Chains A and B, each alone.
Chain A
Amino acid sequence: VRLVPLAMPAVTVLYFARAREATGGLVEETFDVVDTDELRVALVKQHPGLETVLRSAVLAVNQEYCVETTALRERDEVAVIPPISGG
């Protein structure tokens, strides 16, 4: 049995670079999800064009890279981070 909170946390998702292009230019959006696995599914459902991007993108929660599935809480900020190219 998996317990799901009655109120799913609303998290803010930020789209950058190729991810932003895949959403048609949308830079920010809110999702009600409990963890990053659920978020990935929800992202593709909402923006099918993100499926390819997500294969090589990493997520950051509150400005820390996720290295594994991460639980999400109300008002968390999640960023979709395609491969970087600073410098």
Chain B
Amino acid sequence: TRAMSAAPADADARDHVEITGSALSLDAAYEFVRSPRAGAVVTFVGTTRDEFQGKRVDRLEYECYAPMAVKKMRELCGLMRGRWEVENIHIAHRTGTVAVGESSVIIAVSSAHRVASLEATRWCIDELKATVPIWKKEFFEGGEVWKENETQRREIRPPEAVG
């Protein structure tokens, strides 16, 4: 199911945030963010690995509190714009089964110059993992376990101020 990408009235049209049960498209992310004003496009793709601590992983299953996740993802976009000169932002996260090799999250950012999108993309995935209400269950050889990200925050930590 595709959910919660409709933007509130005051949302920035240059931001696209999405939670979807369908396979993610890197092409779609790139097409959304690329712009004549951008000299750089940065993409981050998170994919399911085939191994964790020596055990073979079969798949991950993702679950999401969609309305709050979208809200948090929009906050991430706003904070990115406050700190960096970026053009367009695309954040998409998948729910349901994500098999080995498939992507669970795609973040794409464009900017006139490369430093902005490189730094913004890195900050974005770090904060997404720390604050957006999404869970993954890992199905491995011999069992299954709910994963917990290393950093958990109740508030998004804004990027450091310039200078």
Contacts and interface: CB of A to CB of B under 8 A. Distances in A.
Interface residues of B, number: 30
B132 A86 contact: yes
Interface in A64-87: 65-67, 79, 81-87
Contacts, number: 75
Given A86-B93, A87-B128, A17 B149 contact: no
Contacts of A86: 62, 64, 69, 93, 105, 128-129, 132-136, 149
B132 A84 contact: yes
Interface residues of A, number: 18
B71 interface: yes
A58 B64 CA distance: 15
A39 interface: no
A40 interface: no
A81 B133 contact: yes
26 contacts: A16-B65, A16-B133, A16-B135, A17-B135, A17-B146, A18-B146, A60-B65, A60-B133, A63-B67, A67-B154, A67-B155, A81-B65, A81-B133, A82-B135, A84-B132, A84-B148, A84-B149, A85-B148, A86-B62, A86-B93, A86-B129, A86-B133, A86-B135, A87-B104, A87-B125, A87-B128
